[in-house]
């Protein structure tokens, strides 16, 4: 009888430990990629405002090569660096600057233009 009580106690301890693991939060830790302000080259259609405002239409560039003109070439924005990287979602002020440049209402310092 004493052996049965000890065995039952051991089983109960293992069940309790198993229950703790089963109901504990096992969410993996998400590591965030470091982001900074840097240049992104525009790869979309300069005649389509939705593309001008789409972060996926910009790719990281170490330095924009733009000659003066009236079409959006590059944008200085917050995001990760590296080949194929896109900027983070644009803030309302960046979207406003892009809208102004697209509609010929002036160009902010964060935007490079080309012919």
- Domains of the chain by residue range: 36-114
Structure pTM?
0.67
Is-contact 73 64, C-beta < 8 A? yes
pLDDT score recorded for residue 82: 87
pLDDT score recorded for residue 31: 57
Taking the C-alpha atoms of residue 50 and residue 56, their distance in angstroms, rounded to an integer, is: 11
pLDDT score recorded for residue 65: 81
pLDDT score recorded for residue 11: 63
Q: How far is CA 94 from CA 5, 21, 89, 108, in A?
A: 70, 46, 10, 9
pLDDT in tens, the chain (115 residues): 556 556 556 665 555 555 545 555 556 555 556 678 899 999 999 889 999 999 999 999 988 888 766 688 999 999 998 888 999 999 999 999 999 999 888 888 888 887 5
């Amino acid at each position: 009888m004493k052996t049965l009580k000890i065995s039952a106690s051991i089983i109960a301890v293992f069940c309790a430990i198993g229950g703790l693991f089963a109901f504990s939060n096992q969410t993996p830790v998400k590591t965030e990629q470091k982001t900074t302000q840097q240049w992104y080259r525009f790869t979309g259609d300069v005649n389509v405002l939705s593309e001008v405002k789409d972060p996926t239409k910009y790719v990281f560039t170490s330095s924009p090569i733009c000659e003066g003109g009236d079409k959006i070439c590059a944008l200085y924005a917050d995001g990760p660096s590296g080949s194929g990287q896109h900027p983070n979602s644009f803030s309302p002020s960046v979207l406003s600057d892009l809208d102004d440049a697209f509609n010929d209402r002036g160009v902010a310092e964060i935007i490079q233009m080309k012919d």
